[in-house]
Structure 1
């Protein structure tokens, strides 16, 4: 087992971001596209997403302070989540591309419909969708943890999921998992 750490004079253990990234790559995650509709329409691939509570239903997503999505969620106060299916790797790559055209044009040629409660683009072919209202946010390092009250959910029947593990996209089939 290899590790990278060294104590500084204050007793903290500074970590190199690359080392943490390489270590966290060993944790399989689902792949989502966060989205905001309306005046701040935007989409962003994210795997820092989790359920927080069932009663009341809450989820969280973590977004870098420097990301366009950070400003979009903060301004809108509502967001959508499309949990991507196994055949949606290209969508994941599209919304992760920092060089793509922003604004409504980033959704051209992509099947989606506006969420009933948030107007956030919900992507066709996803395995599940959530619509959320921002309830809390916490700054932590270079990211903000956004917590949303779940307003609405829907899901596809027996859909295969898209995972990210060890720097690569993977697929999971619910009939064999």
Structure 2
């Protein structure tokens, strides 16, 4: 299969956009994802996928806790920023209002939903790891239309 064709085909599936955060050795790490999903109601489980070569990958696995901020349409700039590799870690969250969740991870104040989780399993997913976590906290800090990703572009409802 051609990777370009694959990306075009799976890109037809509209997804929400979120930023996953963790804190390891006193440093905040964050990454834009569209691979976040609910897994189970009993126990409450969620998952996201992290590319193995991303520095976020090792940080989140070491930390064992993470937060998910589901983005509103007004946070497209944050999504783009946290999707780029190699940005400085120091002060990377400063442009967007955020707070610490119960687990100590950063959560964005404008998020339309937040989830905190503790890692319960990590599965091999080719060039990504599938990180499964048990939900430890939930919130809906703001309201508004969600940021979506479809066919290689950001969209809104």
- Which interval holds the TM-score relative to the shorter structure? over 0.9
Write 1 or 2 for the structure with the bigger share of strand.
2
**Greater relative contact order, per chain length (Cα 8 Å cut-off, separation 6+):** 2
- Rg larger in structure: 1
Partner secondary structure for residue 73 of structure 2: coil
Unaligned runs of at least 5 residues, structure 1: 1-14, 173-177
| Matching residue within 151, 154, 157 for 2:139 | 154
Shift of 1:38: 4.3
Aligned residues: 156
Does 1:64 find its partner at 2:80?
no
Which aligned runs of 4 or more in structure 1 are off by greater than 2 angstroms?
156-159
TM-score, structure 2 normalization = 0.94
1:119 and 1:21 map into 2 onto residues whose CA distance is 35
TM-score, structure 1 normalization = 0.84
- 8 Å CA contact 2:21–2:68 kept in 1: the answer is yes
Partner secondary structure for residue 57 of structure 2: helix
Unaligned runs of at least 5 residues, structure 2: none
CA-atom RMSD, angstroms?
Answer: 1.3
Does the C-alpha gap of structure 1 residues 144 and 168 become closer, same or farther in structure 2, counting only changes over 3 Å? same
- 8 Å CA contact 2:110–2:142 kept in 1: the answer is no
- 8 Å CA contact 1:37–1:114 kept in 2: the answer is no
- 8 Å CA contact 1:38–1:119 kept in 2: the answer is no
